[in-house]
Amino acid sequence: MNLFTRFARSAFVCAAMAFALTLSISAPAHAVVMYVDKGLPDLTPDQIVHVANPQPVQLLFQLQTKERPNSKGTTFLKAKVLEAVKNSGLFTDVTDGPATNGAVLSITIDNIPEANAGSKGFGTGLTFGLVGTVVTDYYVCTVEYLPPSGVGKITKTANHSLHSTIGLKSAPLDGIKAKNVEEGVFIMTRQIVSHALNSLGEDPAFSGTPAQPAQGQADAPTDAATAAPAETVPAAAPAPAATDETPAAQVAS
């Protein structure tokens, strides 16, 4: 239940609660099976960008639900985000307080639940789970890097999604089954943050010099953070492809 309260407005919670309401049971966690979308897998070693001169940075993180702060979810995921930042190799030291050079890295993960998740779960409950349903939570990770100079903010985004089945429903084709909800959320966090950071590392404006291209990736598009397939993203969700919002003037050609 604790995990459910941290992600109260997520599609999987809305659907599960509606399912529970219909069945009049209080905690249907057992009824939810989570799948991590295949569209944004872990980076392979040869995809990871290496920067020549990594610097310390101050990390700020916030989890949001539909662009509103989610304080419990932020606390829950903060350690995983910190781990992903440290593992990126882009920074020498990652701190809560001001970094010695004044650089700031802000990471926001916004959860956009599928709009009709509640009604889907309700329908599944009415049939006692015989007519199962699948709901999707979409996630947008926004990485903002404020260099030591304080000007020329670099922004990168990556998209991901989690699919949850409730009742009798076969696994979605575009998902990899997680052991439980917690593991699914952690995998999604690791993957979406590492892709967005890799995209940041590839930006010449980040280190002042062109980033060392990952082996075998020299001809690949600059933004490696390819996201969930377009067909899994509804009209209301953000565009699937990772985007580069760095002003053109800040990006060396």
Query: Is residue 108 at the binding interface for other proteins, with CB under 8 A as the rule?
Result: yes
Read off the DSSP letter of residue 129. T
Contact between 156 and 52 (Cβ < 8 Å): no
- List the alpha helices (DSSP H) in 42-70: none
Among 42, 44, 52, 60, binds other proteins (CB under 8 A): 60
Among 31, 35, 62, 224, binds other proteins (CB under 8 A): 62
Query: Is residue 98 at the binding interface for other proteins, with CB under 8 A as the rule?
Result: yes
Query: Is residue 45 at the binding interface for other proteins, with CB under 8 A as the rule?
Result: no
Query: Is residue 81 at the binding interface for other proteins, with CB under 8 A as the rule?
Result: no
Contact between 110 and 66 (Cβ < 8 Å): yes
Query: Is residue 164 at the binding interface for other proteins, with CB under 8 A as the rule?
Result: no
At its nearest, how many Å lie between other proteins and the CB of residue 60? 6
| All residues at 6 or more sequence positions from 34 whose CB lies less than 8 Å from its CB, including other chains | 12, 162, 163, 164, 177, 178, 180, 181, 183, 184, 185
Contact between 43 and 224 (Cβ < 8 Å): yes
Among 70, 157, 161, 232, binds other proteins (CB under 8 A): 70
- Of 28 and 132, nearer to other proteins (C-beta) is 28
Query: Is residue 24 at the binding interface for other proteins, with CB under 8 A as the rule?
Result: yes
Residues 208-247 that bind other proteins (CB under 8 A): none
If phi > 0 it is left, if psi is from -120 to 50 it is alpha, else beta; for residue 129 that is left
Number of amino acids touching other proteins (CB under 8 A): 39
C-alpha 154/C-alpha 226 separation (Å) is 18
- Of 14 and 51, nearer to other proteins (C-beta) is 14
| All residues at 6 or more sequence positions from 151 whose CB lies less than 8 Å from its CB, including other chains | none
Among 30, 45, 53, 97, binds other proteins (CB under 8 A): 97
- Number of other residues whose CB lies within 10 A of the CB of residue 115: 15
Residues 131-150 that bind other proteins (CB under 8 A): 144, 146, 150
Footprint of other proteins on this chain (CB under 8 A)? 1, 4-6, 8-9, 13-14, 17-18, 20-21, 24-26, 58, 60-62, 65, 68-72, 74-75, 78, 96-98, 102, 104, 106, 108, 118, 144, 146, 150
